[in-house]
Chains A and B, each alone.
Chain A
Amino acid sequence: MRGLASSLLVLVAVAAAGGVAARETVGKTAPAYAPPPETSKFVAAPGVEAAQRYCLTCHSADYVSTQPPHMPAAFWQNEVTKMRNAYGATIPDDAAKAITDYLVATYTEPTRGGR
Chain B
Amino acid sequence: MATNLSDRRSVLTGAAALLAAGAARGQAVTLPFGNGERPIKTYPEKRPMLVLTERPPQLETPFEVFDHGAFTPNDAFFVRYHLAGTPPRGLDAATHRLKVLGAVETPLDLSLADLRRDFPAVELAAVNECSGNGRGFSSPRVAGGQLGEGMMGNALWRGVTVRALLDRAGVKASAHAVEFNGADRPQMASVADFVKGLGVDHARNGEVMIAYEMNGAPLPLLNGYPLRLIVPGYYGTYWVKHLTDLTVLEQESQSYWMQKAYRIPDNDCACVPAGTAASATRPIGKLNVRSFITNLSDGQTAKASARALVRGVAFDGGSGISGVELSSDGGKTWTPASLGQDHGKYSFREWSAHVPLEHGEHLLVARAKSKAGDVQPLTANWNPSAYMRNVADPVRVVAA
A residues at B contact (CB < 8 Å): 1, 4-5, 7-8, 10-17, 19-20, 23, 25-36, 38-40, 57-60, 62-63, 65-71, 75, 78-79, 82, 86-90, 112-115
Residue of A at shortest CB range from B221?
A: A31
* The 4 A-B residue pairs with the shortest CB-CB distance in the complex, in nearest-first order: A114-B34, A88-B190, A19-B121, A68-B141
Interchain CB contact under 8 A, B205 and A16:
no
| In the bound complex, CA of A5 to CA of B119 (Å) | 19
Residues 84-125 (chain B) with a chain A CB within 8 angstroms: 84, 87, 89-94, 112, 116-124
21 CB contacts below 8 A, A to B, read A1-B201, A7-B206, A8-B207, A13-B121, A16-B119, A26-B213, A26-B218, A28-B218, A28-B225, A28-B226, A29-B92, A30-B90, A32-B44, A33-B221, A36-B42, A58-B83, A58-B187, A86-B256, A88-B188, A115-B3, A115-B141
> Residues of A contacting B158 with CB < 8 Å?
19
From A23, A33, A58, A82, B213 is in contact (CB under 8 Å) with: A23
> Residues of A contacting B34 with CB < 8 Å?
68-70, 112-115
Residue of A at shortest CB range from B95?
A: A30
| In the bound complex, CA of A89 to CA of B186 (Å) | 12
From A31, A33, A59, B84 is in contact (CB under 8 Å) with: A59
Interchain CB contact under 8 A, B84 and A16:
no
Q: Mark B376-387, 1 if CB is under 8 A from A, else 0.
A: 000000000000
Interchain CB contact under 8 A, B93 and A28:
yes
Q: How far is the CB of B242 from chain A (nearest CB, A)?
A: 11
| In the bound complex, CA of A27 to CA of B218 (Å) | 8
| In the bound complex, CA of A88 to CA of B41 (Å) | 31
Stretch at the interface among B49-57, B280-288, B355-363: B49-57
| In the bound complex, CA of A1 to CA of B204 (Å) | 9
- A67 with B35: in contact, given A20-B116, A33-B89, A60-B54 (CB under 8 Å)? yes
> Residues of A contacting B344 with CB < 8 Å?
10
> Residues of B contacting A63 with CB < 8 Å?
53, 145
With an 8 A cutoff between CB atoms, is B139 at the interface? yes
Looking at chain B's contact residues, the main secondary structure is loop
From B53, B124, B204, B216, A62 is in contact (CB under 8 Å) with: B53
> Residues of B contacting A10 with CB < 8 Å?
124, 207, 344-346
Q: How far is the CB of A67 from chain B (nearest CB, A)?
A: 6
Counting chain B CB atoms within 10 Å of each CB, the highest count among A25, A36, A40, A70 belongs to: A36
With an 8 A cutoff between CB atoms, is B173 at the interface? no
Given contacts A20-B116, A62-B51, A115-B141, 19 further A-B contacts (CB under 8 A): A4-B207, A11-B123, A14-B122, A14-B123, A26-B212, A26-B218, A27-B94, A31-B44, A40-B54, A57-B84, A58-B84, A58-B186, A66-B146, A68-B142, A86-B256, A86-B260, A88-B191, A89-B188, A114-B33
Counting chain B CB atoms within 10 Å of each CB, the highest count among A15, A16, A27, A31 belongs to: A31
> Residues of B contacting A114 with CB < 8 Å?
33-36
With an 8 A cutoff between CB atoms, is B304 at the interface? no
Q: How far is the CB of B201 from chain A (nearest CB, A)?
A: 4
> Residues of B contacting A70 with CB < 8 Å?
34
From A19, A28, A32, A66, B53 is in contact (CB under 8 Å) with: A66
> Residues of A contacting B161 with CB < 8 Å?
11
Q: How far is the CB of A73 from chain B (nearest CB, A)?
A: 14
- A30 with B91: in contact, given A68-B141, A114-B35 (CB under 8 Å)? yes
Residues 141-161 (chain B) with a chain A CB within 8 angstroms: 141-143, 145-146, 158, 161
Residues 174-204 (chain B) with a chain A CB within 8 angstroms: 186-192, 201-202, 204
Q: How far is the CB of B398 from chain A (nearest CB, A)?
A: 22
Interchain CB contact under 8 A, A57 and B187:
yes
| In the bound complex, CA of A15 to CA of B51 (Å) | 40
> Residues of B contacting A58 with CB < 8 Å?
83-84, 186-188, 191
